[in-house]
Amino acid sequence: VTEPVVWRRLSPLMLLVHPVHEVLRQVPLLIGAVVLGSATGNAMWSIAALVLMIVFGVARWFTTTYRIDAEQIQRREGVLQRSVLSVPRNRIRSVSTDARLLHRLLGLTVVKVSTGQEAKGDAGFALDAVRADEVPALRALLLAESRPDSLEAGDEVGPAERELARWQPSWLRYSPLSFTGLATIAAAIGVIYQTGAVAALEDSPLAQQGRDAAERLGVVATVVVAVLAVLILGVLLSVVRSLLTFGNLVLSRRDEVLHLQHGLLRVREHTFDMRRLRGGTIRQPLLVRAFGGARLDAVMTGVDGSGEASLLLPPCPAPTAEAVLTDLIGQQDAVTGELRHHGPAATRRRWTRALTFPALLAAGLGVTAVVAAVPSWAWVLCGLVAAACAFLAADRSRALGHRVGDGWLVARSGSLDRRRDCLAAEGIIGWTARQTLFQRRAGVATLIAATPAGVKGYRVLDVPAELAWSVAAAASPWVANSDWTREPAHS
Amino acid sequence: MVTLVDPANPPSRKAPLVWAIGAAIPWAVLAVAQVVWFVLDARLSWLHAVAAGVTVVGVVTFVVVAPVWRYRVHRWEIGAQAVYTRSGWLVQERRIAPISRVQTVDTHRGPLAQLFGLADVTVTTASSAGAVRIVALDSEVADRIAAQLTDIAAIGDRDAT
């Protein structure tokens, strides 16, 4: 790499973006300035604040520089406080790009570099922003250090890019089943209340009409209409959000590089180094599973396993997710193979835990019934809760299972958020067998495989206690050969 | 069917005492606060009785039962290839990590531990779910372990992820 080691500036177009972002970021301050301006009768306050923000935004561009030398990538920044952030190039694990609407209009892209070692709350290393046409070269340069053999030869000569999955309009059918729409509505209502718009509306003719309509329809009809309206709105919001976020998603693979691109308005691209892949998680939330869907997360060193960073496929048909994971890890059995169930003790624990709450509820109602009349709908409600809990217990017990062998550990659990974790055994660098008092009495243990990848700890829930170390030993030779391992003669 | 025998070494003999003192301090503060409250305002005697009962149960559980129980559970051992510990009381854990993947070895002495000449050793690997903690060791044992682990692991010659 013969890159001249000079400090480079980010795209000059950021002179337009920074002031806008700065103003948007300081909206509370701006509101304060406007209030102060109107209170003192002197509009100069507001103008001064605005000018200060714009100057600050412009100064940010002039003070931010970066350079890439043979060992590291560095960024200098800060208007009042200077800081230098350096990342050793051989520690770079992934490079992702992100272009919001304003960036896209100007042909800019934010480049984020991840080492996977960032502490929580750490912003990480981002170049905000460079010209979009510089990105492929920059990406190749940044990842070259961790991939010595590939990409050196140039993009054209390498093996052809192979498409693993492409977004289909039919995938939208899984998106109404998420709670994001309802959450958006709740957030919107919260904001509206906070701004006092509701109080202003209360006496308006519109609200009066609404009240009249409610009186004509009756309470039950009004509630039904309101619930239906919220549901429909929620579904619409979820679908639109899903379409904007994941529309035109393409997951492709070229040799050892996995490439994910998605987003209609805000375009995001992730590049993953396949040699850091330690497996994958197929997640099937209850409602998505009911319609035969699944989503896929990567288990990868240097990529946070819980957030959006590890997403490979949004809710899509389960066979698609399974086929892609099989292609990535090359182990059909780990993805779809039969699991070993955890037996009656684990099942019993699922039922006890699920039914404790309805039992307490029923007991409470029973006690209340002795001293006062309990309305019959309370009993019906209690019965419904019990039925829902029983369903959860049955579904959760059915889910529990594990599989170990051929160098892979597979664990499945959960009902509302069912997950099947497939983890490469060579990536496991620690085992924990945990038993609460109740687990000891039931003769089961929770086995936790520690790994530097993904969510760091992968749990095998309520394995029969006598099996726990067999699972660990089957996956990790260093457990099987440890000084403490005893193998009874009969097995 | 594979089983693992427990690790061999117990923590320091002073460990239960230090754990008991550590737990006794907050409970003592709470007890004093209750006495002050009783002196200032002796009405609601049933509430005082309930509070006193909770304190007594808490003291017995955390100052008497837990340290003894923990001392009986806690074990550690360093083998040729791995570190193995057993810890906890109500929730018990057995944890094993290969020495070849160790990234750092730290010894830590809290104020109370320092007073009694105890130390904890924390062995971290690249996984935040895999750190092994050996607690309440005699100071010189802790130093010896740290030196030994650092030697075997030959930390720094590899990425260990």
Token representation of residue A284 = 């099937």
B90 at the A interface (CB within 8 A)?
yes
pLDDT greater than 80 at residue A192? no
Alpha-carbon distance of B90 to A298, in angstroms, equals 35
Q: pLDDT: is A152 or A490 the higher one?
A: A490
B132 in contact with chain A, both atoms CB, cutoff 8 A: yes
| pLDDT for res B156 | 47
**Mean pLDDT lowest among A79-88, A316-325, A350-359, A455-464:** A79-88
Report whether pLDDT(A89) > 80. Answer: yes
**Residue A97: which of A271, A276, A274 has the closest Cα?**
A271
User: What pTM value is reported for the model?
Assistant: 0.81
Residue A301 has pLDDT above 60, yes or no: yes
Question: What is the arithmetic mean of pLDDT over A186-214?
Answer: 71
Rg of chain A (C-alpha set): 28
Per-residue pLDDT tens over the stretch A229-255: 888 888 888 888 889 989 889 999 988
With beta carbons under 8 A apart, name residues in chain B contacting A482: 4, 79, 81-82, 84, 96
Which pLDDT value is given to residue B154?
Answer: 63
pLDDT tens-digit map of A441-487: 999 999 999 998 889 999 999 999 999 999 999 999 999 999 999 98
Hey, of A482, A490, A491, which one would you mutate to test binding to chain B, going by the most B CBs within 10 A of its CB? A482
Which chain A residues have a beta carbon less than 8 Å from that of B101?
A: 429-430
Inter-chain CB proximity B81 and A481 less than 8 Å:
yes
**What's the pLDDT score for residue A156?**
46
Is A431 in contact with B95 (Cβ distance < 8 A)? yes
Can you spell out the DSSP letters for A288-345?
Answer: HHHTTEEEEEEEEBTS-SSSGGGEEEEEEEHHHHHHHHHHHH--HHHHHS--B--HHH
The pLDDT of residue A473: 94
> Is the ipTM value over 0.85, yes or no?
yes
- Helix (H) or strand (E) segment spanning residue A71: none
Per the prediction, chain A carries an average pLDDT of 84
Question: pLDDT of B99-135, one tens digit each?
Answer: 988 888 999 999 999 999 999 999 998 888 889 999 9
**pLDDT value for A252:** 93
Q: Which amino acid is at B30?
A: L
The minimum CA-CA distance between B139 and chain A, rounded to whole Å, is 25
All residues of chain A having their beta carbon less than 8 Å from the beta carbon of residue B127 are 429-430, 450-452, 456-457
Those residues of chain A whose CB sits closer than 8 Å to some CB in chain B are 116, 301-302, 429-437, 440, 448, 450-452, 456-457, 466-467, 469-470, 472-474, 476, 478-488, 491
Whole-number pLDDT of residue B43: 85
Q: Which of A83-97, A264-278, A296-310, B49-63 has the largest mean confidence?
A: B49-63
Do the Cβ atoms of A434 and B91 come within 8 Å? yes
Instruction: Give the pLDDT band of residue A90 (cuts 50, 70, 90).
Output: confident
pLDDT at A158: 53
Contact B96 A486 (CB under 8 A): no
Spatial separation of the C-alpha atoms in residues B100 and B118, rounded to whole Å: 27
Q: Which of A119-123, A194-198, A208-212 has the lowest mean pLDDT?
A: A119-123
Other C-beta atoms lying within 10 Å of the C-beta of residue B83 = 26
Distance of CA B131 to the CA centre of its chain: 14
Look at residue A148 in the predicted model and tell me its pLDDT.
47
Render pLDDT for A36-55 as a digit per residue (tens, 0 to 9).
Answer: 777 777 778 778 888 888 88
Beta bridge partners of A301: A453
**Sequence-distant (≥ 6) Cβ neighbours of residue A127 within 8 angstroms:** A10, A66, A75, A110, A111, A112, A113, A138
Q: CB contact, 8 Å: B92 with chain A?
A: yes
Among residues A432, A428, A423, the alpha carbon closest in space to that of A403 is found at A423
For residues A188 and A198, give the distance between their C-alpha atoms in angstroms, rounded to a whole number: 12
Contacts of residue A132, defined as CB under 8 A and 6 or more positions apart, other chains included, come to A99, A107, A108, A109
Task: Let me know the angle formed at the C-alpha of A456 by A338 and B156, rounded to the nearest 5 degrees.
Answer: 125
